[in-house]
Amino acid sequence: MIWIIINIAIMAALSYGISALMSKDPKNYNQDPSKDIDVPTADEGVEVPVLFGTRRIKGPNVVWWGDLKTKAIRK
């Protein structure tokens, strides 16, 4: 019985240590989430991709993109 409790304590300590080592440093997070958005461009002379079916286009060339604003959530 005592070996089971010791085994659980060791596993909990190892799990905590591994998660602490693998966690990201909060200082490196971007404070402005609007910079994380990959916004399409509207450039002249850029090729327009032709697609058939359903695909994800990275960096499409568009004319208008919605109002990108952030609003603080207050409760």
pLDDT tens by residue, 4-57? 999 999 999 999 999 988 877 666 666 666 666 666 777 788 777 777 888 877
Nearest to 31 by CA among 74, 75, 70: 70
As a residue count, the chain comes to 75
Q: How far apart are the first and last CA of the chain?
A: 48
Domain boundaries defined on the chain = 2-30
- Is 3 a residue whose pLDDT tops 80? yes
